[in-house]
Structure 1
């Protein structure tokens, strides 16, 4: 795979340089064509590169010591976009010095910087934050918006459906991803006026590269019954954190159960292959890498607490989106809205 290089905000994330460089190195071991622009403190990055000799020839360092704080207000971080590792990584995409940017830093700041530098695609009202979530099937489900937009009208939801379906076609290979709107019930009369209006427009549309299948409730998101789940950012963020919390609850519950007695410990040894599979499936690092869809460039948000495996997955998400030209794919698909006459009443 020959791709434009990926700018990595080496200072972002809970553990910063060590994990970000280690994750990039792991991604390169899997795909030896990857090239990187590592943005951050040069001394620390070089020290981290010493433990990954194969990375030296594949990486350029852009020195920067200024870091966006995890709880820093996006408005304040935006004023320092030209001096921080996060801002410089995003700017590298704008300037054409990198094809995509990956950061584990402050989500709000990353979105603000990305929108300012890369701008929203023509014909699109707002970008959205999308992520892949595990399901009971072999394919992940694309969910958006996960926090970029607290309030969304019907037009926003329709556009999110178009972008989510484009992303899903890349990751699942389905020509017509099964797309649903998150709602409090599956009946047509359920939900807000905006959700109902978006559903009505998508049901009536012809020619869109998706199969719109109505509504999905939150407890069915991970069942594998649809490929794209569309919602406003407020509801999506709550649903995502509830899912993540439930996954941690299950793994902690199993850990406590299997260590409660000698018999339980023996039972754990017998069932270990199954529990290892469960742990792998629930590990957020295996699904790390949320994407800001709808911008004129690729920006991937890695979870702040991601380990090296998680960072590597985020890098691979960025590479895959570059390879499949997600930006132009969405631009083409947005044109289908007008061609199909999709309007929200």
Structure 2
């Protein structure tokens, strides 16, 4: 699949900063030793953590940054300090070609604002979208977008996001023609807003694209495994994501209580432990960490702020694969395909 790209990492982002970011890089490097990194942050702090991972040393170049974006900082404030912060300089490394992808576990709003300002959007994309892989009961995960970058969306946005989500799915899930559906309050063609109906009509006729449009999907069907890409506005997408995460924690807590309620239940836990361990693995957000800002002229991946080293390593692998397989070019090719067929989504 080619050589591994260089990943620019904001070492100061997230809940624990350099400790988990360096540990995650070491974990990813242990699996693929041709990975290399540009670490942006306080050099003394980053160096202290790097000293704990001897095998990683030759794969890391540290770039000192005095400034850090706080988690509570407004994007409008963060943009003003893009050139001095670890987050801003990691993104700039992608723009300059020093790195092929950037990763941060820091402030999501600031990361989106800085990325859009520095890298700009791909021609034909009005707004970037935040996409992530979610677990399902099917043979593979699914791609869902937008997960919070845009609270509102028009018809063009939804069509463009469907194209981007399908391109991402073809790389991440190895699918030739991903099944795409729009999130709606019902599956009937008459249900939903005019925006959803118009987007569905366009996608239904776009059989020349590398996707299969399967109409609408309701929220309770997302995890069944019958769809590969779910498209919605960022407001609904973020609520759906947080609801799914909360439900997963709720189920895990219920099981924990049930298995510790009596001696008999503890014995039952020991008997069913293989099944509960499989459930725990499936619901662990670290196994799906690494949301992607789609629609930019470059790869930018957002790690969850509370991710552990396994989660950071997974986000690094996402960034490396998308860069290695040139996601940006594939999205551009699909957009050119839309333009050549004179669809409304390409009209300006």
TM-score bucket (shorter structure): over 0.9
Determine if the alignment matches structure 1 residue 250 to structure 2 residue 251.
Answer: yes
Shift, 1:42, TM fit: 0.8
The gaps in structure 2 that reach 5 residues or longer are none
Deviation readout 1:54-82 (Å, 9 max, x if unpaired): 11100000011311111110001111111
Structure-2 separation of matches of 1:79 and 1:105: 16
Structure-1 separation of matches of 2:232 and 2:65: 37
Name the structure 1 match of 2:60. Answer: 59
Determine if the alignment matches structure 1 residue 225 to structure 2 residue 226.
Answer: yes
Structure-1 separation of matches of 2:320 and 2:115: 18
SS in 2 for 1:226: coil
SS in 1 for 2:344: coil
TM-score by length of 2: 0.97
Deviation readout 1:116-139 (Å, 9 max, x if unpaired): 000001111111100000011231
Structure-2 separation of matches of 1:148 and 1:42: 31
The 5 Å alignment of 1:265-280 reads 265-280=266-281
Structure-2 separation of matches of 1:247 and 1:66: 36
Shift, 1:183, TM fit: 0.4
Aligned length: 345
Structure-2 separation of matches of 1:191 and 1:312: 39
8 A Cα contact 1:206 1:340, kept in partner: no
Q: Which moved more, 1:158-167 or 1:250-259?
A: 250-259
Name the structure 1 match of 2:203. Answer: 202
Name the structure 1 match of 2:72. Answer: 71
8 A Cα contact 2:181 2:215, kept in partner: yes
Shift, 1:205, TM fit: 2.1
SS in 2 for 1:314: helix
Structure-2 separation of matches of 1:223 and 1:179: 14
Structure-1 separation of matches of 2:207 and 2:294: 23
Structure-2 separation of matches of 1:206 and 1:314: 32
Q: Which moved more, 1:248-257 or 1:201-210?
A: 201-210
Name the structure 1 match of 2:191. Answer: 190
Shift, 1:343, TM fit: 2.2
The gaps in structure 1 that reach 5 residues or longer are none
Shift, 1:292, TM fit: 0.4
8 A Cα contact 1:37 1:59, kept in partner: yes
Deviation readout 1:287-334 (Å, 9 max, x if unpaired): 000000100000000000100000000000000001110010100011
8 A Cα contact 1:8 1:89, kept in partner: yes
8 A Cα contact 1:207 1:340, kept in partner: no
TM-score by length of 1: 0.98
